[in-house]
């Protein structure tokens, strides 16, 4: 096998609570990841030197790209002596809170391990993934839904399989993840009890599994939303507008600015999308949860 092509899924955060500050400077958090069927397309090919071609966005420098970081990390951590040509078709918007960069890195690690028959086990891949980014381990797992703790890189499979239609509202304007977290730490740093976290996760999981959208909407949490709204008021505006369009379960994903809404069927999500298109300044994508 000289090449392979894989679809790389995005994610949303159904739940995101910051629980304290770690000694290494990172935030401790508790989150629920959900994979969705919005995909980048990644082709890896054996070669004599490294080359990265990206369609769909204006690329950053190669050395800053998470695919290159995964390639270099794997090369320095194993006896791998080969090289790679990578062609990425980018459909997951960059800097949107949908995990595209982390997913691309994870699937590069998985793809190279398979393509070059490196024989790395799950634990070894996870250890490499953690060095690239806190969300990378989630994409290295096959879990469609998972609870992430610590930096979000310690994961527990959540067997809450249910299909939802999703409306994503994505701004061209981006929010700096570092800036959002820094603002939160300054304005509202706190430590939550494990009892409260456990209760909230249980309630959300139950409502998600049972399809109770009104109750689920109340259970969706993201501690970064208030900060994102203060830095970018459009986030608050779109949350209000999407609720007015009939979404009872909606929230911001990651550090923003993307907002998502959950629906039970295609008719409902399309109706909400049509009403939302009266507004300007963003684009919408309809997709589904993976389960």
How far apart, in Å, do the first and last CA atoms of the chain sit? 29
pLDDT tops 70 at residue 188: no
Active site residue 264: no
Give me the mean pLDDT over the 130-136 stretch: 95
Within 71-164, strands assigned E span 83-89, 145-149, 154-157
| C-beta separation of 65 from 103 below 8 A | no
State the Cα angle at 190 between 185 and 196, rounded to 5°: 135
Active site residue 11: yes
Report pLDDT for 191: 63
Report pLDDT for 58: 61
pTM above 0.75, yes or no: yes
Give me the mean pLDDT over the 164-180 stretch: 91
Tracing tokens 């006896």 back to the chain, one arrives at: 79
Report pLDDT for 119: 94
Q: Which of 104, 135, 153, 223 is catalytic?
A: 135
Q: Which of 11, 35, 90, 221 is catalytic?
A: 11
- pLDDT band of residue 125 (cuts 50, 70, 90) is very high
Q: What is the pLDDT of residues 17-76, one digit of tens each?
A: 998 777 776 778 999 999 999 999 999 999 998 999 998 766 667 788 999 999 999 999
Query: What residues have CB less than 8 Å from 242, skipping those under 6 apart?
Result: 167, 169, 250, 259, 261, 272, 276
Q: What is the pLDDT of residues 222-239, one digit of tens each?
A: 999 999 999 999 999 999
Instruction: For residue 5, report the phi and psi dihedrals to the nearest 5 degrees.
Output: -125, 135
Query: What does pLDDT average to over the chain?
Result: 91
Q: How far is CA 274 from the centre of its chain?
A: 25
Tokens of 96: 């949107």
- pLDDT band of residue 189 (cuts 50, 70, 90) is very low
Instruction: For residue 72, report the phi and psi dihedrals to the nearest 5 degrees.
Output: -65, -40
Q: What is the pLDDT of residues 203-216, one digit of tens each?
A: 999 999 999 999 99
Report pLDDT for 59: 61
Report pLDDT for 178: 86
Instruction: For residue 61, report the phi and psi dihedrals to the nearest 5 degrees.
Output: -65, 150
């Amino acid at each position: 096998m000289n090449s392979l092509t894989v679809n790389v899924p995005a994610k949303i955060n159904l739940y995101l609570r910051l629980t304290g500050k770690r000694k290494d400077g990172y935030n401790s958090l508790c989150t629920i990841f959900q994979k969705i069927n919005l995909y980048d397309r990644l082709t890896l090919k054996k070669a004599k030197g490294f080359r990265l071609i990206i369609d769909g966005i204006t690329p950053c420098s190669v050395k800053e790209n998470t695919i290159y970081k995964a390639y270099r990390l794997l090369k320095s951590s194993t006896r791998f002596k080969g090289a790679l040509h990578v062609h990425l078709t980018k459909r997951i918007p960059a800097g949107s809170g949908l995990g595209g960069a982390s997913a691309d890195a994870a699937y590069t690690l998985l793809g190279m391990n398979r393509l070059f028959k490196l024989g790395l086990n799950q634990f070894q891949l996870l250890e490499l993934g953690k060095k690239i980014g806190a969300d990378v381990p989630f994409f290295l797992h096959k879990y469609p839904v998972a609870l992430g703790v610590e930096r979000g890189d310690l994961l527990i499979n959540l067997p809450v399989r249910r299909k939802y239609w999703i409306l994503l509202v994505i701004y061209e304007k981006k929010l700096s993840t570092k800036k959002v977290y820094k603002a939160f730490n300054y304005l509202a740093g706190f430590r939550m009890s494990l009892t409260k976290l456990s209760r909230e996760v249980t309630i959300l999981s139950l409502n998600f599994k049972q399809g109770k959208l009104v109750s689920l909407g109340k259970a969706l949490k993201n501690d970064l939303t208030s900060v994102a709204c203060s830095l970018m008021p459009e986030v608050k505006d779109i949350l209000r507008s999407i609720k007015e369009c009939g979404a009872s379960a909606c929230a911001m994903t990651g550090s923003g600015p993307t907002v998502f809404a959950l629906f039970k069927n295609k008719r409902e999500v399309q109706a909400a999308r049509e009403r939302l298109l009266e507004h300007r300044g963003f684009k919408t994508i309809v997709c589904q949860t993976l389960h």
